[in-house]
Amino acid sequence: MTSPNDVDPALRNRLIQIGFPEDPGEWKQGKAVFSSNKLEILGHPVMEAWEAPYMGALAKIATRNGGKILEIGFGLGLSAGFIQEYKPEEHTIIEVNCDVFSKLEDFADRSRSKVIPLFGDWRDLVPSLASNSFDGILFDTYANSQTEMKNVCEAFVFFDEAYRLLKLGGIFTFYSSQVKFNAECEQGLRKAGFSNIDGISVPVPVPKDCLYWSHDTILAPIIVK
C-alpha cells in the first residue's frame, strides 16, 4: 500500500472532501443519522454494520483477561454488545457525540454487566482516569479533522495513554485501518512502552461502496503491556 495506513488514498481523499468543522467541538452537537446498517455524523460514514465480525474479534481480544474494560467510541454499539457477552466486571465507555451518547445511556440501562457511560472527548476525559486501572482497552473513534485523518490510525495519538491506563499484562486493541502492522504504527506502540505487539487478520464482508475500507481483511491488534 502507498498511504501511511492501508486506507486507499482515493477513499481517504473522498473522506477529507466531506469536510470537517473548524471547531472539533461541533462533533458533540453534530446530528447522528442512524439507519439499519450505518451511522453518519456531519456527512461522514462513522460506522457500518459489515464491521460486526471485526468488532467481535476486537471485543474478544480486549476482554481476554476479564476485569475492567475501557472502550472509546460507542458508534452503533456493536463492539460494546460483544464486550458485554464476555461479562466484564466493569465496562467504561467514552462517547463524544450527544445523539450517540443517548443511545449509550439506553445501552447502559439494558446491560447485564455494569456499564459506566462517560460523555465527552476522550482527550478531555482520559487524563483523569487512574493509571494501571484497566485489564483491557478497545479504542475505536473517528478522525475529527484532516490532520487526524492522515494519521496511521485514529488510535495513534492514544498509545501513550493506553500504556499508562493498562494494568501490567493488560491488553490493548484498536480499529487499526491496516491489513498488516505498518512500521510507523509499530514504532508508535514501542515508543509508548509496549514491546509485546501481535495481531490477527480478520476477514470482513466489506461492501463495494464502502467509503473508508476496501480490503477483505483488517488487522485486529493484540498489544500486551
Ligand X SMILES: C[S@@+](CC[C@H](N)C(=O)[O-])C[C@H]1O[C@@H](n2cnc3c(N)ncnc32)[C@H](O)[C@@H]1O
Q: Is 77 in the site for ligand X (CB under 6 A)?
A: yes
Rounded to whole angstroms, the maximal C-alpha distance in the chain is: 44
Which single residue is written with the C-alpha cell 456527512? 43
| Single residue of 4, 45, 75, 136 touching ligand X by CB under 6 A | 75
Shortest spacing between CB 107 and ligand X, in angstroms: 11
Shortest spacing between CB 141 and ligand X, in angstroms: 4
Q: Restricting to residues 100-139, which ones interact with ligand X according to CB under 6 A?
A: 100, 121-122
| Single residue of 15, 76, 115, 192 touching ligand X by CB under 6 A | 76
Which range, of 69-77, 165-173, 187-195, 204-212, touches ligand X by CB under 6 A?
69-77
Residue nearest to ligand X (CB): 75
Interface residue list for ligand X (CB under 6 A): 41, 46-47, 55, 72-79, 94-97, 100, 121-122, 140-142, 144
